[in-house]
A and B are shown apart, each in its own frame.
Chain A
Amino acid sequence: MHGLVNRAIEGFVRGCYGPQMWHDIAREAGLGFDEFEAMLHYDDALTDRVLERLADRLDQPVPMILENLGHYLVADPKAGAVRRLLRFGGAGFVDFLHSLDDLPDRARLAVDDLELPELVLHTAPRGRFSLICRGAHPGYPHVMIGILRAMADDYGSLATIEDAGPVPGGRRISVALVETAFAEARAFDLGGAERSGP
Protein backbone atom coordinates (compact mmCIF):
# COMPACT_ATOMS: atom_id res chain seq x y z
CA MET A 1 0.00 0.00 0.00
CA HIS A 2 1.36 3.40 -0.96
CA GLY A 3 2.79 5.45 1.88
CA LEU A 4 0.43 8.32 1.04
CA VAL A 5 -2.56 6.10 1.83
CA ASN A 6 -1.00 4.85 5.06
CA ARG A 7 -0.02 8.37 5.92
CA ALA A 8 -3.65 9.46 5.39
CA ILE A 9 -4.84 6.82 7.84
CA GLU A 10 -2.19 7.87 10.32
CA GLY A 11 -3.15 11.54 9.95
CA PHE A 12 -6.81 10.66 10.45
CA VAL A 13 -6.09 8.77 13.69
CA ARG A 14 -3.77 11.49 14.99
CA GLY A 15 -6.16 14.27 13.99
CA CYS A 16 -9.37 12.71 15.29
CA TYR A 17 -8.20 10.61 18.22
CA GLY A 18 -4.89 12.14 19.25
CA PRO A 19 -1.23 11.19 19.01
CA GLN A 20 -1.40 8.77 21.94
CA MET A 21 -4.07 6.72 20.16
CA TRP A 22 -1.90 6.54 17.07
CA HIS A 23 1.12 5.57 19.12
CA ASP A 24 -0.85 2.72 20.72
CA ILE A 25 -2.25 1.54 17.38
CA ALA A 26 1.20 1.59 15.77
CA ARG A 27 2.59 -0.47 18.64
CA GLU A 28 -0.29 -2.95 18.73
CA ALA A 29 -0.16 -3.38 14.96
CA GLY A 30 3.54 -4.14 15.29
CA LEU A 31 4.61 -1.49 12.79
CA GLY A 32 8.01 -1.10 14.40
CA PHE A 33 7.93 2.65 13.71
CA ASP A 34 5.76 5.56 14.71
CA GLU A 35 5.38 7.33 11.39
CA PHE A 36 4.60 6.18 7.85
CA GLU A 37 6.68 7.77 5.13
CA ALA A 38 4.43 9.28 2.47
CA MET A 39 6.73 8.36 -0.40
CA LEU A 40 7.50 4.73 0.44
CA HIS A 41 5.53 1.55 -0.11
CA TYR A 42 4.40 -0.77 2.64
CA ASP A 43 3.05 -4.28 2.79
CA ASP A 44 -0.76 -4.28 2.64
CA ALA A 45 -0.77 -6.45 5.75
CA LEU A 46 0.49 -3.48 7.80
CA THR A 47 -2.42 -1.33 6.64
CA ASP A 48 -4.89 -4.10 7.42
CA ARG A 49 -3.44 -4.61 10.90
CA VAL A 50 -3.71 -0.88 11.61
CA LEU A 51 -7.36 -0.89 10.50
CA GLU A 52 -8.13 -3.99 12.57
CA ARG A 53 -6.57 -2.49 15.67
CA LEU A 54 -8.46 0.73 15.06
CA ALA A 55 -11.76 -1.10 14.63
CA ASP A 56 -11.11 -2.94 17.87
CA ARG A 57 -10.23 0.15 19.86
CA LEU A 58 -13.04 2.33 18.50
CA ASP A 59 -15.50 -0.57 18.54
CA GLN A 60 -16.59 0.33 15.01
CA PRO A 61 -16.64 -1.79 11.86
CA VAL A 62 -13.78 -1.13 9.42
CA PRO A 63 -16.09 0.18 6.62
CA MET A 64 -17.46 2.84 8.96
CA ILE A 65 -13.96 3.88 9.96
CA LEU A 66 -13.00 4.14 6.29
CA GLU A 67 -16.04 6.33 5.54
CA ASN A 68 -14.99 8.62 8.39
CA LEU A 69 -11.46 8.63 7.01
CA GLY A 70 -12.75 9.73 3.58
CA HIS A 71 -14.80 12.48 5.18
CA TYR A 72 -11.84 13.61 7.26
CA LEU A 73 -9.55 13.83 4.23
CA VAL A 74 -11.87 16.35 2.60
CA ALA A 75 -13.47 18.16 5.50
CA ASP A 76 -10.70 18.57 8.03
CA PRO A 77 -8.38 21.52 7.51
CA LYS A 78 -5.51 19.47 8.97
CA ALA A 79 -5.80 16.93 6.16
CA GLY A 80 -4.13 19.24 3.66
CA ALA A 81 -4.19 18.95 -0.09
CA VAL A 82 -6.86 16.33 -0.87
CA ARG A 83 -9.89 18.60 -0.83
CA ARG A 84 -8.27 21.26 -2.97
CA LEU A 85 -7.00 18.76 -5.48
CA LEU A 86 -10.47 17.22 -5.78
CA ARG A 87 -12.07 20.63 -6.21
CA PHE A 88 -10.01 21.12 -9.36
CA GLY A 89 -12.27 18.42 -10.81
CA GLY A 90 -15.10 20.80 -11.59
CA ALA A 91 -17.02 23.96 -10.83
CA GLY A 92 -20.00 22.07 -9.39
CA PHE A 93 -20.72 18.75 -7.72
CA VAL A 94 -22.00 17.15 -10.93
CA ASP A 95 -18.90 18.27 -12.85
CA PHE A 96 -16.88 16.86 -10.02
CA LEU A 97 -18.66 13.49 -10.26
CA HIS A 98 -17.88 13.39 -13.97
CA SER A 99 -14.23 14.16 -13.28
CA LEU A 100 -13.84 11.07 -11.10
CA ASP A 101 -13.20 8.82 -14.11
CA ASP A 102 -9.95 10.75 -14.58
CA LEU A 103 -8.99 10.75 -10.92
CA PRO A 104 -6.52 7.82 -10.97
CA ASP A 105 -4.76 9.29 -14.01
CA ARG A 106 -4.67 12.74 -12.47
CA ALA A 107 -3.16 11.35 -9.30
CA ARG A 108 -0.53 9.47 -11.29
CA LEU A 109 0.54 12.71 -12.99
CA ALA A 110 1.73 13.94 -9.62
CA VAL A 111 2.75 10.69 -7.94
CA ASP A 112 3.40 8.12 -10.63
CA ASP A 113 3.37 5.07 -8.37
CA LEU A 114 0.11 5.92 -6.61
CA GLU A 115 -2.57 3.37 -7.59
CA LEU A 116 -5.99 4.80 -6.86
CA PRO A 117 -9.15 2.74 -7.42
CA GLU A 118 -10.73 2.66 -10.85
CA LEU A 119 -13.86 4.83 -10.86
CA VAL A 120 -16.64 4.60 -13.45
CA LEU A 121 -19.65 6.92 -13.26
CA HIS A 122 -23.02 5.90 -14.67
CA THR A 123 -25.66 8.58 -15.01
CA ALA A 124 -29.31 7.73 -14.43
CA PRO A 125 -32.36 10.00 -14.80
CA ARG A 126 -33.48 12.52 -12.16
CA GLY A 127 -30.10 13.36 -10.63
CA ARG A 128 -29.16 9.80 -9.85
CA PHE A 129 -25.71 8.40 -10.43
CA SER A 130 -23.97 5.21 -9.64
CA LEU A 131 -20.25 5.06 -9.20
CA ILE A 132 -18.46 1.75 -9.63
CA CYS A 133 -15.33 1.73 -7.51
CA ARG A 134 -12.82 -1.08 -8.06
CA GLY A 135 -9.56 -0.99 -6.23
CA ALA A 136 -6.61 -3.11 -5.28
CA HIS A 137 -7.89 -2.94 -1.72
CA PRO A 138 -11.50 -3.70 -0.75
CA GLY A 139 -11.51 -0.68 1.56
CA TYR A 140 -11.36 1.95 -1.19
CA PRO A 141 -15.11 2.17 -1.94
CA HIS A 142 -15.86 2.95 1.70
CA VAL A 143 -13.26 5.74 1.76
CA MET A 144 -14.82 7.00 -1.48
CA ILE A 145 -18.28 7.19 0.14
CA GLY A 146 -16.87 9.43 2.87
CA ILE A 147 -15.07 11.56 0.31
CA LEU A 148 -18.19 11.97 -1.84
CA ARG A 149 -20.35 13.00 1.11
CA ALA A 150 -17.81 15.58 2.20
CA MET A 151 -17.37 16.88 -1.34
CA ALA A 152 -21.15 17.27 -1.75
CA ASP A 153 -21.09 19.43 1.39
CA ASP A 154 -18.09 21.31 0.08
CA TYR A 155 -19.97 22.18 -3.13
CA GLY A 156 -23.06 23.12 -1.14
CA SER A 157 -25.05 20.29 -2.74
CA LEU A 158 -27.57 18.09 -0.97
CA ALA A 159 -27.10 14.47 -1.97
CA THR A 160 -27.59 11.05 -0.45
CA ILE A 161 -24.63 8.80 -1.02
CA GLU A 162 -24.88 5.14 -0.07
CA ASP A 163 -23.14 1.86 -0.50
CA ALA A 164 -25.25 -0.05 -3.04
CA GLY A 165 -23.57 -3.39 -2.61
CA PRO A 166 -20.80 -5.42 -4.21
CA VAL A 167 -19.98 -5.69 -7.91
CA PRO A 168 -17.21 -7.92 -9.29
CA GLY A 169 -13.92 -6.50 -8.01
CA GLY A 170 -15.45 -3.65 -6.09
CA ARG A 171 -18.63 -1.94 -4.93
CA ARG A 172 -21.35 0.24 -6.36
CA ILE A 173 -21.97 3.60 -4.73
CA SER A 174 -25.30 5.28 -5.34
CA VAL A 175 -25.51 9.06 -5.50
CA ALA A 176 -28.89 10.77 -5.44
CA LEU A 177 -28.69 14.50 -5.95
CA VAL A 178 -31.49 16.32 -4.17
CA GLU A 179 -30.35 19.87 -4.73
CA THR A 180 -27.21 21.33 -6.25
CA ALA A 181 -27.44 24.73 -4.54
CA PHE A 182 -28.63 23.59 -1.15
CA ALA A 183 -26.11 25.54 0.88
CA GLU A 184 -23.33 27.94 0.10
CA ALA A 185 -20.29 26.15 -1.27
CA ARG A 186 -17.07 26.36 0.64
CA ALA A 187 -14.75 28.87 -0.99
CA PHE A 188 -12.38 27.48 -3.56
CA ASP A 189 -9.75 29.76 -4.95
CA LEU A 190 -7.94 28.28 -7.94
CA GLY A 191 -4.74 30.02 -6.96
CA GLY A 192 -4.86 28.74 -3.40
CA ALA A 193 -5.42 32.11 -1.71
CA GLU A 194 -8.09 30.90 0.71
CA ARG A 195 -5.44 29.03 2.65
CA SER A 196 -3.66 32.23 3.56
CA GLY A 197 -6.90 33.76 4.89
CA PRO A 198 -7.70 33.98 8.60
Chain B
Amino acid sequence: MTGGLVPALDRLCPMHLQMDEHGIIRHAGPSLCKLRPGAGLVGQPFLDVIGLRRAAAPVDLPSLLARAGEPLHLRFRAPPRTDFKGVLVTGLPGMAALVNLSFGIGIREAVQDYDLTVADFAATDLAVEMLYLIEANAAAMAASRNLKTRLQGAMIAAEERAFTDTLTGLRNRRAMDRVLDRMIGDGRHFALMHVDLDYFKAVNDTHGHAAGDHVLQEVARAMVAVTRAEDTVARVGGDEFVILFDRLDDRTRLDDVARRLIGRLEQPILWQGRKLQISASAGTALSRAYAVPDAERLLADADTALYAAKRAGRAQHMFFDPAMARMGQGAEPLPDASRA
Protein backbone atom coordinates (compact mmCIF):
# COMPACT_ATOMS: atom_id res chain seq x y z
CA MET B 1 0.00 0.00 0.00
CA THR B 2 1.23 3.45 -0.82
CA GLY B 3 2.98 4.78 2.24
CA GLY B 4 1.24 8.18 2.29
CA LEU B 5 -2.21 6.68 2.33
CA VAL B 6 -1.88 4.80 5.62
CA PRO B 7 -1.65 7.84 7.93
CA ALA B 8 -4.50 9.44 6.02
CA LEU B 9 -6.68 6.35 6.42
CA ASP B 10 -5.74 6.08 10.09
CA ARG B 11 -6.88 9.66 10.55
CA LEU B 12 -10.05 9.41 8.47
CA CYS B 13 -11.05 5.90 9.56
CA PRO B 14 -9.35 5.07 12.86
CA MET B 15 -11.51 1.93 13.02
CA HIS B 16 -10.53 0.42 9.70
CA LEU B 17 -8.44 -2.63 8.91
CA GLN B 18 -6.71 -3.92 5.81
CA MET B 19 -6.37 -7.57 4.80
CA ASP B 20 -4.35 -9.39 2.17
CA GLU B 21 -5.53 -11.92 -0.38
CA HIS B 22 -5.39 -14.70 2.26
CA GLY B 23 -7.73 -12.78 4.54
CA ILE B 24 -4.92 -11.98 6.99
CA ILE B 25 -5.15 -8.62 8.71
CA ARG B 26 -2.11 -6.58 7.68
CA HIS B 27 -2.94 -3.26 9.26
CA ALA B 28 -5.50 -1.91 11.75
CA GLY B 29 -6.40 1.71 12.52
CA PRO B 30 -5.30 3.13 15.89
CA SER B 31 -8.71 2.96 17.58
CA LEU B 32 -9.30 -0.59 16.46
CA CYS B 33 -5.86 -1.54 17.82
CA LYS B 34 -7.00 -0.20 21.18
CA LEU B 35 -9.83 -2.73 21.15
CA ARG B 36 -7.50 -5.70 20.63
CA PRO B 37 -4.02 -4.66 21.78
CA GLY B 38 -0.81 -6.53 20.96
CA ALA B 39 -1.09 -9.28 18.37
CA GLY B 40 -4.87 -9.42 18.63
CA LEU B 41 -5.46 -8.16 15.11
CA VAL B 42 -2.46 -7.74 12.85
CA GLY B 43 -1.28 -11.12 11.55
CA GLN B 44 -4.58 -12.84 12.41
CA PRO B 45 -7.08 -14.12 9.84
CA PHE B 46 -9.90 -11.61 9.74
CA LEU B 47 -12.62 -14.26 9.96
CA ASP B 48 -10.98 -15.80 13.05
CA VAL B 49 -11.22 -12.50 14.89
CA ILE B 50 -14.50 -11.13 13.57
CA GLY B 51 -17.60 -13.03 12.57
CA LEU B 52 -20.58 -12.01 10.50
CA ARG B 53 -23.89 -11.68 12.30
CA ARG B 54 -27.13 -12.43 10.52
CA ALA B 55 -25.31 -14.68 8.05
CA ALA B 56 -27.39 -17.59 6.77
CA ALA B 57 -24.42 -19.89 6.21
CA PRO B 58 -20.80 -19.94 7.49
CA VAL B 59 -18.87 -17.22 5.74
CA ASP B 60 -15.56 -17.90 4.03
CA LEU B 61 -13.20 -15.41 2.47
CA PRO B 62 -14.63 -15.47 -1.09
CA SER B 63 -18.18 -15.00 0.16
CA LEU B 64 -17.03 -12.18 2.45
CA LEU B 65 -15.27 -10.41 -0.42
CA ALA B 66 -18.37 -10.91 -2.55
CA ARG B 67 -20.27 -8.70 -0.16
CA ALA B 68 -18.10 -5.68 -0.90
CA GLY B 69 -20.08 -2.47 -0.60
CA GLU B 70 -22.94 -3.98 1.40
CA PRO B 71 -23.68 -3.00 4.97
CA LEU B 72 -22.24 -5.70 7.25
CA HIS B 73 -23.17 -6.67 10.80
CA LEU B 74 -20.10 -7.96 12.54
CA ARG B 75 -19.06 -9.14 15.98
CA PHE B 76 -15.81 -9.94 17.75
CA ARG B 77 -15.60 -13.69 18.26
CA ALA B 78 -13.91 -13.37 21.67
CA PRO B 79 -15.25 -11.33 24.59
CA PRO B 80 -16.03 -8.55 24.91
CA ARG B 81 -18.12 -9.52 21.89
CA THR B 82 -18.55 -6.02 20.58
CA ASP B 83 -20.95 -5.54 17.69
CA PHE B 84 -19.98 -3.44 14.71
CA LYS B 85 -21.50 -2.01 11.64
CA GLY B 86 -19.08 -2.27 8.79
CA VAL B 87 -18.46 -1.99 5.11
CA LEU B 88 -15.85 -3.77 3.02
CA VAL B 89 -14.29 -2.35 -0.11
CA THR B 90 -11.92 -3.93 -2.59
CA GLY B 91 -9.77 -2.59 -5.38
CA LEU B 92 -7.48 -0.38 -3.28
CA PRO B 93 -3.75 -0.59 -4.03
CA GLY B 94 -1.65 -2.86 -1.84
CA MET B 95 -4.48 -4.77 -0.14
CA ALA B 96 -7.17 -7.28 -0.99
CA ALA B 97 -9.83 -5.51 1.03
CA LEU B 98 -10.41 -2.72 3.52
CA VAL B 99 -13.09 -3.02 6.18
CA ASN B 100 -14.24 0.09 8.01
CA LEU B 101 -16.06 -0.42 11.29
CA SER B 102 -18.23 1.61 13.64
CA PHE B 103 -19.97 0.80 16.90
CA GLY B 104 -23.49 1.66 15.86
CA ILE B 105 -26.03 1.69 18.64
CA GLY B 106 -23.76 -0.24 21.03
CA ILE B 107 -21.44 2.76 21.33
CA ARG B 108 -22.08 3.31 25.05
CA GLU B 109 -20.98 -0.19 26.07
CA ALA B 110 -18.02 -0.10 23.69
CA VAL B 111 -16.75 3.16 25.11
CA GLN B 112 -16.98 1.71 28.61
CA ASP B 113 -15.44 -1.63 27.68
CA TYR B 114 -12.42 -0.10 25.96
CA ASP B 115 -12.00 3.18 27.78
CA LEU B 116 -12.21 5.22 24.58
CA THR B 117 -11.77 8.98 24.46
CA VAL B 118 -12.84 11.77 22.13
CA ALA B 119 -9.51 11.39 20.33
CA ASP B 120 -10.32 7.79 19.38
CA PHE B 121 -13.07 8.88 17.03
CA ALA B 122 -12.69 10.49 13.64
CA ALA B 123 -13.25 14.22 13.81
CA THR B 124 -16.29 13.79 11.55
CA ASP B 125 -17.73 10.88 13.54
CA LEU B 126 -20.95 11.69 15.38
CA ALA B 127 -20.12 9.14 18.08
CA VAL B 128 -19.36 11.76 20.70
CA GLU B 129 -22.54 13.66 19.86
CA MET B 130 -24.41 10.41 20.23
CA LEU B 131 -22.88 9.75 23.64
CA TYR B 132 -23.69 13.30 24.64
CA LEU B 133 -27.29 12.81 23.57
CA ILE B 134 -27.63 9.52 25.42
CA GLU B 135 -26.44 11.19 28.59
CA ALA B 136 -28.37 14.45 28.16
CA ASN B 137 -31.48 12.50 27.33
CA ALA B 138 -31.09 10.30 30.39
CA ALA B 139 -30.75 13.38 32.61
CA ALA B 140 -33.80 15.02 31.03
CA MET B 141 -35.83 11.83 31.32
CA ALA B 142 -34.90 11.49 34.97
CA ALA B 143 -36.13 15.03 35.61
CA SER B 144 -39.34 14.31 33.71
CA ARG B 145 -39.95 11.10 35.61
CA ASN B 146 -39.42 12.98 38.84
CA LEU B 147 -42.03 15.52 37.83
CA LYS B 148 -44.48 12.86 36.73
CA THR B 149 -44.15 11.01 40.03
CA ARG B 150 -44.81 14.18 41.95
CA LEU B 151 -47.73 15.23 39.78
CA GLN B 152 -49.22 11.80 40.19
CA GLY B 153 -48.89 12.08 43.97
CA ALA B 154 -50.50 15.52 43.86
CA MET B 155 -53.28 14.21 41.64
CA ILE B 156 -54.04 11.35 44.02
CA ALA B 157 -54.09 13.77 46.96
CA ALA B 158 -56.36 16.18 45.04
CA GLU B 159 -58.72 13.36 44.11
CA GLU B 160 -58.79 12.23 47.69
CA ARG B 161 -59.72 15.79 48.72
CA ALA B 162 -62.30 16.03 45.95
CA PHE B 163 -64.01 12.86 47.17
CA THR B 164 -63.88 13.64 50.88
CA ASP B 165 -66.31 15.58 53.02
CA THR B 166 -63.98 17.92 54.87
CA LEU B 167 -66.04 18.20 58.05
CA THR B 168 -66.54 14.50 58.74
CA GLY B 169 -63.82 12.84 56.68
CA LEU B 170 -66.54 10.66 55.11
CA ARG B 171 -66.90 10.33 51.35
CA ASN B 172 -68.93 13.07 49.71
CA ARG B 173 -71.78 13.03 47.24
CA ARG B 174 -69.44 12.90 44.23
CA ALA B 175 -67.59 9.90 45.64
CA MET B 176 -70.86 8.14 46.48
CA ASP B 177 -72.14 8.66 42.91
CA ARG B 178 -68.93 7.17 41.54
CA VAL B 179 -69.02 4.12 43.78
CA LEU B 180 -72.71 3.60 43.09
CA ASP B 181 -72.17 3.77 39.32
CA ARG B 182 -69.28 1.34 39.58
CA MET B 183 -71.27 -1.14 41.65
CA ILE B 184 -74.11 -1.02 39.15
CA GLY B 185 -71.67 -1.28 36.25
CA ASP B 186 -69.99 -4.32 37.81
CA GLY B 187 -73.36 -5.97 38.32
CA ARG B 188 -72.71 -6.46 42.03
CA HIS B 189 -75.43 -6.96 44.62
CA PHE B 190 -75.52 -4.22 47.18
CA ALA B 191 -77.77 -2.29 49.51
CA LEU B 192 -78.24 1.46 49.52
CA MET B 193 -79.21 2.87 52.91
CA HIS B 194 -80.32 6.46 53.19
CA VAL B 195 -79.93 7.84 56.74
CA ASP B 196 -81.40 11.16 57.84
CA LEU B 197 -80.79 12.71 61.24
CA ASP B 198 -83.78 13.69 63.37
CA TYR B 199 -83.71 16.79 65.63
CA PHE B 200 -80.43 17.92 64.11
CA LYS B 201 -81.85 21.31 63.13
CA ALA B 202 -82.91 21.82 66.75
CA VAL B 203 -79.35 21.17 67.96
CA ASN B 204 -77.99 23.64 65.42
CA ASP B 205 -80.57 26.29 66.29
CA THR B 206 -80.22 25.93 70.06
CA HIS B 207 -76.48 25.33 70.48
CA GLY B 208 -75.02 26.83 67.33
CA HIS B 209 -73.12 25.51 64.34
CA ALA B 210 -70.09 24.42 66.33
CA ALA B 211 -72.33 22.03 68.26
CA GLY B 212 -73.90 20.89 64.99
CA ASP B 213 -70.48 20.23 63.48
CA HIS B 214 -69.49 18.23 66.52
CA VAL B 215 -72.66 16.14 66.23
CA LEU B 216 -71.97 15.44 62.56
CA GLN B 217 -68.45 14.28 63.38
CA GLU B 218 -69.77 11.96 66.09
CA VAL B 219 -72.40 10.63 63.68
CA ALA B 220 -69.66 9.93 61.14
CA ARG B 221 -67.67 8.01 63.75
CA ALA B 222 -70.72 5.93 64.63
CA MET B 223 -71.40 5.13 60.97
CA VAL B 224 -67.84 4.04 60.35
CA ALA B 225 -67.98 1.92 63.51
CA VAL B 226 -71.08 -0.05 62.49
CA THR B 227 -70.06 -0.60 58.85
CA ARG B 228 -67.35 -2.68 57.24
CA ALA B 229 -64.23 -1.36 55.55
CA GLU B 230 -65.60 -2.28 52.12
CA ASP B 231 -68.77 -0.24 52.62
CA THR B 232 -69.01 3.35 51.45
CA VAL B 233 -70.24 5.89 53.97
CA ALA B 234 -71.01 9.29 52.44
CA ARG B 235 -72.40 12.53 53.71
CA VAL B 236 -74.59 13.66 50.84
CA GLY B 237 -76.33 16.65 52.39
CA GLY B 238 -76.38 18.73 55.59
CA ASP B 239 -77.65 15.91 57.79
CA GLU B 240 -78.19 13.23 55.18
CA PHE B 241 -76.01 10.20 54.70
CA VAL B 242 -75.89 7.31 52.29
CA ILE B 243 -74.27 3.98 53.09
CA LEU B 244 -73.50 1.56 50.26
CA PHE B 245 -73.12 -2.01 51.51
CA ASP B 246 -71.01 -3.88 49.00
CA ARG B 247 -72.27 -7.42 48.25
CA LEU B 248 -74.60 -7.33 51.22
CA ASP B 249 -78.33 -7.62 50.67
CA ASP B 250 -79.37 -9.79 53.59
CA ARG B 251 -82.37 -8.01 55.13
CA THR B 252 -81.80 -9.33 58.64
CA ARG B 253 -78.18 -8.18 58.72
CA LEU B 254 -78.98 -4.82 57.17
CA ASP B 255 -81.82 -4.22 59.58
CA ASP B 256 -79.48 -5.15 62.42
CA VAL B 257 -76.87 -2.64 61.23
CA ALA B 258 -79.51 0.09 60.89
CA ARG B 259 -80.88 -0.53 64.38
CA ARG B 260 -77.44 -0.59 65.95
CA LEU B 261 -76.63 2.67 64.18
CA ILE B 262 -79.85 4.37 65.25
CA GLY B 263 -79.31 3.06 68.79
CA ARG B 264 -75.86 4.60 68.90
CA LEU B 265 -77.07 7.90 67.47
CA GLU B 266 -79.75 8.13 70.13
CA GLN B 267 -77.07 8.14 72.84
CA PRO B 268 -76.62 11.74 74.00
CA ILE B 269 -73.54 13.40 72.49
CA LEU B 270 -71.45 15.39 74.97
CA TRP B 271 -70.41 18.83 73.83
CA GLN B 272 -68.90 21.47 76.13
CA GLY B 273 -70.58 19.89 79.15
CA ARG B 274 -73.96 19.73 77.45
CA LYS B 275 -75.80 16.65 76.26
CA LEU B 276 -77.00 16.90 72.70
CA GLN B 277 -79.81 14.61 71.70
CA ILE B 278 -80.54 13.51 68.18
CA SER B 279 -81.94 10.47 66.48
CA ALA B 280 -82.06 9.09 62.97
CA SER B 281 -84.29 7.31 60.50
CA ALA B 282 -83.18 5.07 57.71
CA GLY B 283 -84.55 3.59 54.50
CA THR B 284 -82.89 0.93 52.37
CA ALA B 285 -83.22 -0.21 48.78
CA LEU B 286 -81.69 -3.48 47.55
CA SER B 287 -80.11 -3.70 44.11
CA ARG B 288 -81.39 -7.23 43.50
CA ALA B 289 -85.00 -5.95 43.56
CA TYR B 290 -84.37 -4.40 40.13
CA ALA B 291 -83.90 -6.18 36.84
CA VAL B 292 -81.68 -3.29 35.74
CA PRO B 293 -80.63 -1.20 38.75
CA ASP B 294 -80.50 2.51 38.17
CA ALA B 295 -78.70 4.93 40.50
CA GLU B 296 -81.42 7.60 40.48
CA ARG B 297 -84.13 5.04 41.03
CA LEU B 298 -82.29 3.35 43.92
CA LEU B 299 -81.68 6.68 45.62
CA ALA B 300 -85.30 7.73 45.15
CA ASP B 301 -86.61 4.41 46.47
CA ALA B 302 -84.33 4.46 49.52
CA ASP B 303 -85.56 7.99 50.09
CA THR B 304 -89.19 6.78 49.89
CA ALA B 305 -88.41 4.07 52.44
CA LEU B 306 -86.73 6.66 54.67
CA TYR B 307 -89.85 8.86 54.68
CA ALA B 308 -92.04 5.88 55.33
CA ALA B 309 -89.79 5.18 58.34
CA LYS B 310 -90.15 8.77 59.52
CA ARG B 311 -93.90 8.59 59.19
CA ALA B 312 -93.84 5.38 61.16
CA GLY B 313 -92.51 7.31 64.13
CA ARG B 314 -88.80 8.08 63.72
CA ALA B 315 -85.81 6.07 64.91
CA GLN B 316 -87.07 3.47 62.47
CA HIS B 317 -85.54 1.59 59.58
CA MET B 318 -87.54 0.35 56.61
CA PHE B 319 -86.83 -1.47 53.37
CA PHE B 320 -88.31 -0.08 50.20
CA ASP B 321 -91.46 -1.76 49.07
CA PRO B 322 -93.17 -0.85 45.78
CA ALA B 323 -96.38 -0.43 47.77
CA MET B 324 -94.75 2.57 49.55
CA ALA B 325 -94.36 4.41 46.28
CA ARG B 326 -98.06 4.01 45.55
CA MET B 327 -98.99 5.20 49.03
CA GLY B 328 -96.48 7.99 48.92
CA GLN B 329 -97.90 9.46 45.75
CA GLY B 330 -101.01 10.75 47.48
CA ALA B 331 -99.41 11.51 50.81
CA GLU B 332 -98.75 15.02 52.02
CA PRO B 333 -95.05 15.86 52.04
CA LEU B 334 -93.67 16.10 55.54
CA PRO B 335 -93.34 19.67 56.74
CA ASP B 336 -89.73 20.80 56.93
CA ALA B 337 -89.73 21.35 60.67
CA SER B 338 -90.60 17.75 61.35
CA ARG B 339 -87.75 16.59 59.12
CA ALA B 340 -85.13 18.35 61.15
Chain A residues proximal to chain B, CB less than 8 Å:
4, 7, 37-40, 80-81, 84-85, 88, 90-91, 106-107, 109-111, 188-193
Q: Give bound CA distance, A40 to B147, whole Å.
A: 9
Contact A38 B146 (CB under 8 A): yes
The total of chain B residues at the interface (CB under 8 A) is 24
> What residues of A have a CB within 8 angstroms of the CB of B111 in the complex?
189-191
Contact A84 B143 (CB under 8 A): no
Closest 10 CB pairs of A and B: A110-B136, A191-B112, A191-B111, A88-B132, A38-B143, A91-B118, A81-B139, A190-B111, A39-B147, A110-B140
Q: Give bound CA distance, A190 to B140, whole Å.
A: 18
Contact A80 B139 (CB under 8 A): yes
Which residue of the partner chain B has the closest CB to A88?
B132
Which residues of B, 94-140, contact A by the 8 Å Cβ criterion?
108-109, 111-112, 115-119, 128-129, 131-133, 135-137, 139-140
Once A91-B118, A190-B117 are accepted as A-B contacts, the answer to whether A110 and B137 lie under 8 Å apart by CB is: yes
Contact B131 A88 (CB under 8 A): yes
Once A40-B147, A88-B128, A90-B118 are accepted as A-B contacts, the answer to whether A192 and B135 lie under 8 Å apart by CB is: yes
Which residue of the partner chain A has the closest CB to B109?
A191
> What residues of A have a CB within 8 angstroms of the CB of B188 in the complex?
none
Q: Give bound CA distance, A20 to B133, whole Å.
A: 35
Minimum C-beta distance from B321 to chain A (A): 56
Contact B131 A91 (CB under 8 A): no
> What residues of A have a CB within 8 angstroms of the CB of B44 in the complex?
none
Contact A190 B147 (CB under 8 A): no
> What residues of B have a CB within 8 angstroms of the CB of A91 in the complex?
117-119
> What residues of B have a CB within 8 angstroms of the CB of A84 in the complex?
135
Residue B150 CB within 8 A of the other chain: yes
Minimum C-beta distance from A91 to chain B (A): 4
> What residues of A have a CB within 8 angstroms of the CB of B108 in the complex?
191
Main secondary structure of the interface of B (DSSP, over half): helix
> What residues of A have a CB within 8 angstroms of the CB of B119 in the complex?
91
Q: Give bound CA distance, A75 to B116, whole Å.
A: 23
Contact B147 A37 (CB under 8 A): yes
Once A38-B147, A91-B118 are accepted as A-B contacts, the answer to whether A109 and B128 lie under 8 Å apart by CB is: no
Contact B147 A85 (CB under 8 A): no
Minimum C-beta distance from A170 to chain B (A): 24
Contact A88 B135 (CB under 8 A): yes
Contact B135 A81 (CB under 8 A): yes
Chain B residues proximal to chain A, CB less than 8 Å:
108-109, 111-112, 115-119, 128-129, 131-133, 135-137, 139-140, 143-144, 146-147, 150
Q: Give bound CA distance, A24 to B40, whole Å.
A: 62
> What residues of B have a CB within 8 angstroms of the CB of A111 in the complex?
136, 140
Q: Give bound CA distance, A186 to B109, whole Å.
A: 22
New A-B pairs, 7, CB < 8 Å, besides A189-B115, A193-B112: A4-B143, A7-B143, A39-B147, A85-B136, A90-B118, A189-B111, A192-B112
Pairs A–B under 8 Å by Cβ, sample size 27: A4-B143, A37-B146, A37-B147, A37-B150, A38-B143, A39-B140, A39-B143, A81-B139, A84-B135, A85-B139, A88-B128, A88-B129, A88-B135, A91-B119, A106-B132, A109-B133, A109-B136, A110-B136, A110-B139, A111-B140, A188-B117, A190-B116, A190-B117, A190-B128, A191-B108, A191-B112, A193-B112
Contact A81 B136 (CB under 8 A): yes
> What residues of A have a CB within 8 angstroms of the CB of B146 in the complex?
37-39
Which residue of the partner chain B has the closest CB to A107?
B136
Contact A85 B132 (CB under 8 A): yes
Q: Give bound CA distance, A81 to B139, whole Å.
A: 7
Contact B131 A190 (CB under 8 A): yes
Q: Give bound CA distance, A80 to B111, whole Å.
A: 20
Which residue of the partner chain A has the closest CB to B147?
A39
Contact A85 B135 (CB under 8 A): yes
Minimum C-beta distance from A193 to chain B (A): 6
Minimum C-beta distance from B71 to chain A (A): 25
> What residues of B have a CB within 8 angstroms of the CB of A38 in the complex?
143, 146-147
> What residues of B have a CB within 8 angstroms of the CB of A85 in the complex?
132, 135-136, 139
> What residues of B have a CB within 8 angstroms of the CB of A106 in the complex?
129, 132, 136
Minimum C-beta distance from A12 to chain B (A): 16
Minimum C-beta distance from A117 to chain B (A): 18
Minimum C-beta distance from B153 to chain A (A): 12
Q: Give bound CA distance, A136 to B72, whole Å.
A: 48
Q: Give bound CA distance, A89 to B30, whole Å.
A: 22
> What residues of A have a CB within 8 angstroms of the CB of B132 in the complex?
85, 88, 106
> What residues of B have a CB within 8 angstroms of the CB of A4 in the complex?
143
Which residue of the partner chain A has the closest CB to B128?
A88
Q: Give bound CA distance, A4 to B111, whole Å.
A: 28
Q: Give bound CA distance, A39 to B143, whole Å.
A: 7
Q: Which of B118, B128, B144, B147 has the most C-beta atoms of chain A within 10 angstroms of its own C-beta? A: B118
